[in-house]
Amino acid sequence: MAKVLCVLYDDPVDGYPPPYAREDIPRIERYPSGQTLPTPQAIDFTPGELLGSVSGALGLRSFLEDHGHELVVTSDKDGAGSEFDRHLPDTEIVISQPFWPAYLTAERIAAAPHLKLAITAGIGSDHVDLDAAAAHGITVAEVTYSNSISVAEHVVMMILSLVRNYLPSYQTVRDRGWDIADCVARSYDLEGMHVGSVAAGRIGLAVLRRLAPFDVRLHYTDRHRLPAEVERELNLTFHPTTQDLVPACDVVTINAPLHPETEGLFDDTLLASMKRGAYLINTARGKICDRDAIVRALQTGQLAGYAGDVWYPQPAPPDHPWRTAPHHGMTPHISGSSLSAQARYAAGTREIVESYLHGRAIRDEYLIVDGGKLAGAGAHSYSARASTGTT
């Protein structure tokens, strides 16, 4: 029987379960690419429930325990003597989320001789040292596309929030004020602006598609250029590098995976090449941006605003400078963990676990590392030298 160690974020402060705002969620038949949604043999949860916190257990408890497997669910993942470290040595399957990542370092992998499978409940597996996983024969998988549209919607929301100066205006109402001049002094129309995406994979392309109706001028860069018909459809301007892209844009959204080529990409030099007063959105990974360079750019006005929901480390410490930087629109890492997304990534996690336990092949599009090398989605998204030193 397998021991499964699942690391999830804490339950709501006011207790679990919360009263739900809606009684159901829309049923999505398939993803925009045509890829089918997760197809587990069954689920033991109601879509729309809170599944990503400890008590939700991704809806896996009954399934695993009824079949004699051991499930340990914890939010305690960091520091000496954490529950994660205590259970890791005899664990066969680790499940984690990007929003509350259990950093599977090379040292932790070396201390887990029974570990065979590391699953990301969601997308983005950079919290796993992929080189070490490959060297130890560990399969790494994630629920590809499960929350890509969720993140894309979050990006559009943050762009509009920054450009229209929504958050300070909302706070004016909360403070019982009516200071219209103060609210509109930093408010602009998105219409006519040049908006660029760093990467145009599932999330980046979805962002571009959602922005097209705003009558903006769209730009992108990606190491895999989009088909010509997509470029024509969306009137996209392609740039061969990020360095070529950013000077042309009023708004830049980062939708790239974290790997050695993107770590620290947005540093003082790149930020200085952007238009003064540009906006930067980062829902990809915190370490793609130089933490202190972002603060300096906001303080000088080189950036008119910075928003995102990714930090390093996660959870971010109380004194993280992005919390108090001017003109930011940061949130905790929530973009891909809506209740709608949770239903999909919980079902996908179960599909992966079922496949592993029953000796079936895991879907190729879910694979990041398999057979000692990058595989599936991982071979498309990550570099051969996959470790960034962040995990």
pLDDT by residue for the chain (391 residues), tens only, comes to: 999 999 999 999 988 887 899 999 999 989 998 999 999 999 999 999 999 999 999 999 999 999 999 999 999 999 889 999 999 999 999 999 999 999 999 999 999 999 999 999 999 999 999 999 999 999 999 999 999 999 999 999 999 999 999 999 999 999 999 999 999 999 999 999 999 999 999 999 999 999 999 999 999 999 999 999 999 999 999 999 999 999 999 999 999 999 899 999 999 999 999 999 999 999 999 999 999 999 999 999 999 999 999 999 999 999 999 999 999 999 999 999 999 999 999 999 999 999 999 999 999 999 999 999 999 989 988 865 544 444 3
Mention every residue, 6+ apart, whose C-beta is less than 8 A from residue 78: 84, 103, 313
Residue 329 lies in a domain: no
Retrieve residue 194's tokens. Answer: 């040049």
SS3 121: coil
| Residue 332 resides in a domain | no
Give the integer Cα–Cα distance in Å for 221 and 263.
Answer: 16
**What is the DSSP code (8-state) at residue 11?**
P
154 and 134 in a common domain: no
Strand order of the β-sheet with 236-238 is: 236-238, 217-221, 194-198, 251-254, 278-282, 303-308
The separation between CA 206 and the C-alpha centre of its own chain, rounded to angstroms, equals 14
Nearby residues of 93 by Cβ (< 8 Å), 6 or more positions away: 2, 3, 4, 5, 115, 116, 117, 118, 119, 353, 356
| pLDDT of the residue at 381 | 80
Residues 309 and 268 in one domain: yes
Clarify whether residues 142 and 157 are in a common domain. no
Closest CA to 252 of 263, 236, 266, 231: 266
Angstrom distance (rounded) from CA 87 to CA 252: 42
Same domain, 264 and 141: no
Indicate if 126 and 184 belong to the same structural domain: no
CB atoms within 10 A of CB 16: 13
Please tell me the predicted confidence (pLDDT) of residue 384: 59
| C-alpha to C-alpha distance for 321 and 328, rounded to whole angstroms | 11
- Catalytic (active-site) positions: 147, 285, 314, 333
Q: Are residues 163 and 50 in the same domain?
A: no
> In angstroms, how far apart are the furthest CA atoms of the chain?
65
Residue with tokens 């860069």: 221
Q: Is residue 89 part of a domain?
A: yes
Where are the extended beta strands (E) located within 315-363? none
**How many other C-beta atoms lie within 10 A of the C-beta of residue 108?**
20
Please report the pLDDT score of residue 385 as a whole number. Answer: 56
* 228 part of a folded domain: yes
Residues 32 and 176 both lie in one domain = no
Count of all residues that appear for the chain in the document: 391
Quote the number of domains for the chain.
2
DSSP string computed for 42-108: --SS-TTS--SBTTTGGG-HHHHHHTT-EEEEES--SSTT-HHHHHGGG-SEEEEBTTB---B-HHH
CATH number at residue 304: 3.40.50.720
Same-domain check for residues 92 and 177 = no
Structure letter (DSSP) for residue 36: B
Residues 216 and 84 in one domain: no
pLDDT of residue 26: 95
pTM over 0.85: yes
328 in a domain, yes or no? no
In a domain, 330, yes or no: no
Q: Judge if 135 and 156 occupy the same domain.
A: no
The sign of the CA dihedral 329, 334, 336, 340 is negative
Does the residue 383 lie in any domain? no
172 belongs to a structural domain? yes
Return the pLDDT at 15. Answer: 87
Provide the pairing of β-strand 278-282 with 251-254: parallel
> How many C-beta atoms lie closer than 10 Å to residue 235's C-beta?
10
Scanning the structure block, which residue is given the tokens 């089918």? 36
* Co-location of 309 and 177 in the same domain: yes
Q: How many CB atoms lie within 10 A of CB 227?
A: 8
The boundaries of the domain holding residue 366 are 3-146+337-375
Q: For residues 153 and 297, state if they share a domain.
A: yes
